[in-house]
Structure formats: structure tokens, C-alpha cells
Structure 1
Amino acid sequence: MAAASDAAPHVLVVPYPARGHMQPLLDLVSLLASRGVRLTVVATPATAHLLAPLFAAHPASVRPLSFPSSSSDHDASGPAPVGADIHALAAALRAPLGNWLLRSQNTGGDSSVAAVLSDFFCGWTQPLAALAGVPRLMFAPSGLLATAATHSLFRRAPGPPIGDAGRAYAVAFPDLPGAPAFPWRQISRMYRSYAEGHGGEHADAIRDNFLWNLESAGFVCNTCHPLEGAYLDARPLVDLAGKRVYAVGPAVSVDANDDESLKKDDDVTEWLDAFPDASVTYVSFGTMMVPPPPHAAALAAALDRAGTPFVWAASTATLPNGFEDRAAEAGTGLVIRGWAPQAAVLRHRATGCFVTHCGWNSVLEAAAAGVPVLAWPVAADQFFNARIVVKEARVGVAASWAGFGAVPDVEHLARLLTDVVVGEDGAGVRERAKTLAVRVAEAVGEGGRSRRELDGLVNELRDLAGRRQDNSP
């Protein structure tokens, strides 16, 4: 019988089928596979294109568990409410996945699973794992502050403002360091709808999802000490049921030399090559946050007024008439429709500012690249993330705390752009962003905190596999 330290752990991975959730989890799977962990990843037709590179890179240690049924062929990146997506995914996969898990445990040997690793919108996997006698680890694609705060909301269930409380009403998180508080409008719509009784038929599914998460054996978080040391050092966190937190981020490589998109002779890189260091503003609100025309117009006017060259990943945003053509003709602006090589743009020497909605993947990419941020949070976890960027790490300034609820003043935006890119007032922000990039690189490097956390996770998985072998007939 192999010793526990020599056991090759087998992990069942259950992603949530939205790209912003899947990509960091798949990055983590790749890291685990490179360290000798065997992984079976749930796959559906909707996620096959995202999973294919992972299977190709690790053919011996990562395999798919395919569910071809059309009922599970769902991409949660679309406009459907999160509750409906959670319910649909659980309804499609709960029974077949539970049956597969029980069979694997009864069969034993190499098919036996040491742990289940699943996204934090897949709380329904917790009772499946418990029934099979397998620990579940919850993967958080968000930062630790956002993850703990979100679970705190469903654990403590604070109510909405009553009567005339209105804008003065804020939700405090007393069990987190510094007891941060956020106005009600900055709390995620998912929770506000639940608390206000507008969650509809999926309200219970949303609540149960997060309560199940708190029963998990531990939390694997795509974060790092340079960004969230205050929260990581405060553990065990009451809001995460005091469970172990593995801070393994950023899971994606932070070495520019490893970025394949940088090595390609694409139009974006060629366009950026023409500009001086740290002179270009990159604008992206992600794939799901589309600024309304008045907000897009204000930002476009601010870019014109500031005179900063820009790359704008505009997706489907409606930009002012003639703006895109004028910028292209002058050679001062590049508008990208569709997919944008964000990591490559941020790591390019010419990029000096990132106007972002503060999705967590974007925050990590900016931190790793050493690019200062102009924060414009809109929804979901973004206000929590913006707090980290603006008030704690101080590697950015706020463009707006109103989301898309109010149109920012053009002059104010232009002044902020100038300050962050070249202004004297932004010198400290720029310097702190560079320092943060060095610290993030150290964290994921040999002997760094994130590397040690990842090694600790692998050792725990090996111990689990060893104990399962020792207890097998």
C-alpha cells in the first residue's frame, strides 16, 4: 500500500459555466495537474471550447466527465438571473453527477475520488459529496472580502432599508477586519432581490447555495496576501464558518514571458508598440457590463479631453457617432469589438491606466501587471473589489461609486485620467501599482505565500487520498 505522501489524489471538479468563473478554476486545475493531482472535470457542450486547451495540455492527468444532455448545455454568461442559472445547472446535473460519484466511491481504486472541488455557485454539490462521504472544497473566483461578505449576507440576513432610511442605510460586516460597511445599493442585486422578496421561485436556491457552501471542508480562493493580507491574516473568518482558506492566487501565470497572447503578432500588440511606456489607457467593463450610451459618451468625451491614447474593449457598447472613426483616423484610439486580449494589453509596456468595472479577474490582472486602476464598479462583487483597489491597496482611484446609476462629470473623468496616467497627483498610485506587481510575482514564485498555499492544498489532497486508501478493504 502506498504511503499517504505518495498517493496520487483524484479530484472531481465542477465548474459553473460562466467564463469569468470557469477560467480561474481551470487555471487552478492546470496548476494542480502539474503537481501530480489527477482531476476529472465536469464538461457540457456549452463549456467544451473552454475545457479543450486544458485537456490538451494535461492529457494524462485531466479528463472530462461529459454530460451531453441538452438540459445541461447551458452557458451562464448570458442575461438570465443567477438564481435561474444555479437552479438549472443543479436540476440538470445533480442526479447523474451524484450517481457517478457514488459509483466511483463504491468501485474504489483509481476511480475513487479524494475530494470534490466546485465553484461557489455550485453549493448543491455539498450534499452530494456528503452523501458519498467525500469532502468538498469550495472554489471562490472572487476575492476573499467579496466571498466572505457575500456569505455573511446569507448567514446573517440583514434586511433592506425601512421607511426614510434610503441612501443613508448601509450594511456593516462586523466580523470582518475593520468592520467595512457598504450602502444598500452597492450590495449585490442577487442578495437585495432576495432580502426585498423579489427573488421569485429561485430565491430559496440562492440562499441554500451559500448556506451549503458554509458546510464545505474548506475554501480555495483566487487571491493573494499582497492584495488581501488583512483578511487572510484574520482567519479563521466567522463569515466563512471558520474553515480553512487556501489563498492560491493569482492562479493564472503572472509572468509576461508565459503569456501566449503577447507572443502573437496581433493587431493590438502592434498598435500599442507605437506608443511610449505607460501612456495608453485601456478601457473594459468586461463581457457582461455594457455602459449605457450616456455613460459611454461621458467616458469618450473624457478620453478626448484628456488626450490620452486608448484601447477600448467595447463589446456591444454604443459609442458616440463618429468617435471610433475619428480615433482610428488620428491613430490615438483603438476600439475592439468582441474578444480582447486583456492580459496582453495590461502587460504591454505602453499601458498606463485601466478603466475597469473591477471584476475580480480584472483586478488580479491589473495587479500582476502593475497597472493603476480607474475604478468604476457596477454590480455583483465589484464594489467590494473596488474597495480593495482604491481604499486598501491604494493602487487606483474611483471614477464613480454610482455604477451606471448616474453619469459622471466629463471634466472630473478627464482630470482623473490625466492624474492616473501622467499627473503628479497620481504618482503615488502609479508607484504603489508597480510595487504591488513585484509583491504578487513574489507571492506566486518559489517559496512565496501563494505557492506555499498551493503546496499546502496539494498536500491536503494527498493526505485525503492516502487516508481513503488506508480505509479501503
Structure 2
Amino acid sequence: MVIKDEEQPLHILFFPFLAPGHLIPIADMAVLFATRGVKCAILTTPVNAQVIRSAVDRANDSSRGTEGALAIDIAVVPFPGVECAPALNSAADRKKFFHGARLLLREPFDRFLVENRPDAVVTDSFFNWSADAAAEHGVPRIAFLGSSLFSRACSGTTVRNNPVEAAPDDPDALVLLPGLPHLVELRRSQMTEPKKRPEHWAFFQRMNAADQRSYGEVFNTFHELEPDYLEHYTTTLGRRVWLVGPVAFASKDAATRGDRGFIIRGWAPQMLILTHLAVGGFVTHCGWNSTLEAVSAGVPMVTWPRYADQFYNEKLVVELLKVGVGVGSADYASKLETRRVIGGELIAEVIGKVMGDGEEAEAIREKAQELGEKARRAVAKVGSSYDDVGRLVEELMARRSSVDV
């Protein structure tokens, strides 16, 4: 008997960038879609497959016997040399890594699309070449960067308008980011300098252009957290988006721990730690995964951004959401670059501002608890993120039917 296409489950390929901070949220997202009856596959390399293997196995085990839920596949492809971005120790290694990712992953990506004919691909925005590759195969590409809507709006206006160029040549000069719902200013030292980092700037431009010509974008955030920037992104910028987070709720850490502090080397079970009753605050570099996990746990933050989207996320946490206080980090610099030292006394003072007995600390804690409750409601049935997952699935099923006709 021939089974009609509309009776087959929707099939989505997830293609994460080769770094845990990009990989883990995409794996959690695959879990979300698999529980809604979507056939999901994750394409990655051997080392990165091991990062998500236990979470995927747990999700597959728990899905057995659950009506409609499907198992997730991990498609592993070889990748000679360093496979994971955190292991890179020089600018030259980083350049070689990005170049290799494009050259070595294009062929297996193409092959998967030909052999499996998925209904859509969710690919990391860092793989900007995947937009054209997916289009060549007639597969809608949905971009995912693992950032907040706010930071994407900030980076988007920066790429379009290059406000740094017009700012005074002073590291502490304030740079206004134009065209946003709120007044957003950063120090010049906290931003990418296009003339000093021309390759980075060109990469951001290619990435932004590829995402704009994609089918749409999916975000690990929720409507109630960034309503003004959802409106800005969809109405002002005319972008198609689905907000499905916080995705970390989809794959809870299974490890256990005691109440006393200890050092964890490697990737920590962060959601488990943040939801522990002993945790009253979180010193964070403001990566979006960590930021959203703190929001989800209702934990106030001490912000210490370093580079990438982290200074934007600090603005969101401190000035818009008002659930944290900054230590005064001022230099856009990766682990390979130097930055100004933040003194211990200042750090202690800032920690007191979120964990002390004053009115400011109490207001921050109350706001953090309120956002944590909203985050949990968003992923529950009939919540905004739960609904957005269903909306995307329905749109892709409707597209399949129209293409088949």
C-alpha cells in the first residue's frame, strides 16, 4: 500500500554549529519537535555527537510509549582535525576551523538532503552557506543562532548602519544603535570595530543576508520576555519568526549534586544547578543560553560580558528586564585577547546588589521570580512557545501539501 505524503510525519534536519553553546540548544529544540510527532535528525561530527548523545538517548527512552512522539536520529559525519570551537587556541586555528567547516560539511549536508528529502532544515546562522545549499534542493531553511531577539535586533541595525564608524575615536564614547524600540547605547570598546576586524564584519554581513533570504528564523526565547522586539522583528523588519523557548526545559539534566560548592571541569549541568534552592544569584558572561537558563530558574544575575552578543544581552538583562547588575565589563575581547581587569571589591559590591537586603536587590529578585514563572508557562500546553512549535509544524505541513500538488 502506498502511504500518502500527508500521512508521513514531518521531517526536519537540525544542523548545529560545532560548539556546545550552539549544539545543545538545537538538540533540545529537536526534542521539543520530536515530542510533537516530528521526525528529527541532527547532523554533526563524532566529537560533537558525544556532547548530545546522552540527552538524545534520554529523550528517546522517555518517548517510548508516548503517543505521537518519535525518536531522534544523530547523523554523524567525519571531520578531520579539531571538531569543536572551544578547543581553538589561536586566531589562525579559528580561521582554519571556519574554512574547514564550510568545505567539509557542505557535501554531507547536500547528501543528506538528497537521500532523505526532509521537509525543512534548521541550520545554525554561522553556516550562512546553507541558505543557498538548501535552496538548491528546494528545502526551506530556517535559521537559528541561539541568541535573543533583542541582540539580533541590535546586531542587525549595527550591520546595516555601522554606527561605530560615526562615533568619536574614543573607547569610552557612547554609540547609539538606531531604529530600535528603546534607547540602546554601548561604549565603542564594547563593539566590533569593522576596520580592525574586517573579516568578522564581512562574516556578520553574510550571515545577516543569508538569514533574511531564508524561510524564517526560530528563536530560543518566548513572547512574554521580549514583546517589543518580537513586534519590531516581525512588523518593522518584516521577518518571519517562531519563538520556541526556553528549550532547556525539554531536556532536563539528570545528574544529582550536593549543597556544597565544587569545581566542574567541562560542560556543567547548569539548569540543575540554577534551580537548586541554595542558588541565590548567578555571575554570568551573558551568553544567551546561560542568560535564558537563569531567567527560567528565576535567578538574578551579575553580568560580566566578554564579546559576541554578550554585551547586548547584558543591556537586556540590566536595563530592560531589570533582573541583574553589571560588573562594568568594557572590552570586546575573546579568550585570545586581553581586556581590562575587574577588581574583586567591585565584584563583591555588585553581588551584594542582587543578593543583599536592600530595596534594589529585593526588586531584582521579585522580577526574576516573575520572569521564571512566565518562562514555565510559555512552554506548557497552550503557552506561547508551545503554540509557536505547533504553528511552525502546521505551516511546514501545509507547504508540503502545496508543493506536492
The TM-score range, normalised by the shorter chain, is 0.7 to 0.9
Check if 1:270 corresponds to 2:258: yes
- Indicate whether 1:62 and 2:63 are aligned: no
1:386–1:3 CA distance, 2 compared to 1 (3 A): farther
Task: Read off the aligned partner of 1:88 and give its amino acid letter.
Answer: G
* C-alpha distance 428-179 of structure 1, shift in aligned 2 (>3 A): closer
CA apart distance, 1:408: 3.6
Q: How much has 1:205 moved relative to structure 2?
A: 4.6
Residues 3 and 259 (structure 1), Cα distance of their counterparts in 2 relative to 1, 3 Å cut: same
Give 5+ residue unaligned stretches, structure 1: 105-110, 273-310, 312-333
Cα-to-partner distance string for 1:162-217 (whole Å, 9 max, x where unaligned): 6645422414131x212423222222x4xx2xx115435x7645532332122111
Q: For the Cα contact (< 8 Å) 2:167–2:173, is it kept in 1?
A: no
1:418 equivalenced with 2:352 (yes/no): yes
Q: 1:460 to 1:83 in 2, by over 3 A?
A: farther
Where 1:142 maps in the other structure, the secondary structure is coil
Question: In 2, are the aligned partners of 1:173 and 1:181 still within 8 Å (CA)?
Answer: no
Aligned residue pair count: 385
Matched residue, 1:300: none
Write the letter of the residue equivalent to 1:449: S
The offset of 1:78, in angstroms, is 2.9
Structure 2: gaps spanning 5 or more residues: 62-69, 332-337
Please point out which of 131, 142, 147 is paired with 1:137.
142
| Stretch of structure 1 that moved more, 430-439 or 177-186 | 177-186
- Say if 1:356 and 1:373, in contact at 8 Å, map to a contact too: yes
The percent identity for this pair of structures is 31
Instruction: Output the CA distance in 2 between the equivalents of 1:251 and 1:393.
Output: 20
Secondary structure of 1:355's match? strand
Contact kept in structure 2, 1:146 and 1:384, CA below 8 Å: yes
> In the alignment, is the contact (CA less than 8 A) between 2:13 and 2:40 conserved in 1?
yes
Other-structure match for 1:213: 211
Higher relative contact order (CA 8 A, sep 6+): 1
Q: Which residue of 2 aligns with 1:395?
A: 323
Asked if 1:147 corresponds to 2:152, the answer is yes
Shift in alpha-carbon separation, 1:389–1:206, aligned structure 2, 3 A: closer
Task: Give the match's secondary structure for 1:252.
Answer: helix
Residue type matched to 2:52 in 1? L
Which moves more between the two structures, 215-224 or 91-100? 91-100
What are the residue-to-residue correspondences of 1:29-428 with 2, within 5 Å?
29-56=30-57, 57-58=59-60, 61-70=71-80, 74-79=83-88, 80-81=90-91, 84-101=96-113, 103-104=114-115, 111-160=116-165, 164-174=169-179, 176-187=180-191, 189=192, 192=193, 195-200=194-199, 204-236=202-234, 238=236, 242-253=238-249, 258-261=252-255, 264=256, 269-272=257-260, 311=261, 334-403=262-331, 405-425=339-359, 426-428=361-363
Q: Provide the residue aligned with 2:65 in structure 1.
A: none
Determine the C-alpha separation between the residues in 1 that align with 2:53 and 2:3: 32
The 1:356/1:183 distance shift into structure 2, 3 A limit, reads: same
Q: Distance in 1 between matches of 2:341 and 2:196?
A: 29
| Matched residue, 2:375 | 440
SS at match of 1:351: coil
**Distance in 1 of aligned mates of 2:71 and 2:264:** 37
Q: Quick check: 9-18 or 335-344, which moved more?
A: 335-344
AA of the residue aligned to 1:76: A
- Mapped contact 1:235–1:242 kept (Cα < 8 A): yes
In structure 1, distance between residues paired with 2:112 and 2:195: 38
1-side partners of 2:134 and 2:365: how far apart? Answer: 46
Question: Which amino acid is the alignment partner of residue 125 of structure 1?
Answer: S
Q: Residue 246 of structure 1 aligns to a residue in which SS?
A: strand
The answer on whether the counterparts of 2:153 and 2:233 sit within 8 Å (CA) in structure 1 is no
Look up the equivalent residue of 2:105 and give its one-letter code.
L
Compute the displacement of 1:55 (Å). 4.6
Structure 2 Cα separation of the partners of residues 49 and 227 of structure 1: 32
Instruction: Tell me, yes or no, if the aligned pair for 1:27 and 1:251 is still in contact at 8 Å.
Output: yes
Query: In 2, Cα distance between the equivalents of 1:349 and 1:232?
Result: 32
Counterparts of 1:55 and 1:131, CA distance in 2: 30
Question: What RMSD over aligned residues (CA atoms) do the two structures have, in Å?
Answer: 2.7
For residue 213 of structure 1, what is the amino acid of its counterpart? D
Asked if 2 retains the 8 angstrom alpha-carbon contact of 1:227 and 1:388, the reply is no
Comparing 55-64 with 343-352, which one deviates more in the overlay?
Answer: 55-64
**C-alpha contact 2:27 2:56 (8 A) present in aligned 1:** no
Question: 1:458 is matched with which residue: 375, 393, 405?
Answer: 393
Matched with 2:66 is none
Q: Which residue of 1 aligns with 2:384?
A: 449
1:422 CA drift (Å): 2.9
Larger-gyration structure (1/2): 1
Give TM-score scaled by structure 2 length.
Answer: 0.86
- Alpha carbons of structure 1 residues 270 and 226: separation in structure 2 relative to 1, 3 Å: same
In the TM superposition, residue 357 of structure 1 has moved relative to its aligned partner by: 1.1
Q: CA deviation at 1:237?
A: 5.3
In the alignment, is the contact (CA less than 8 A) between 1:30 and 1:54 conserved in 2?
Answer: no
Secondary structure in structure 1 of the residue aligned to 2:209: helix
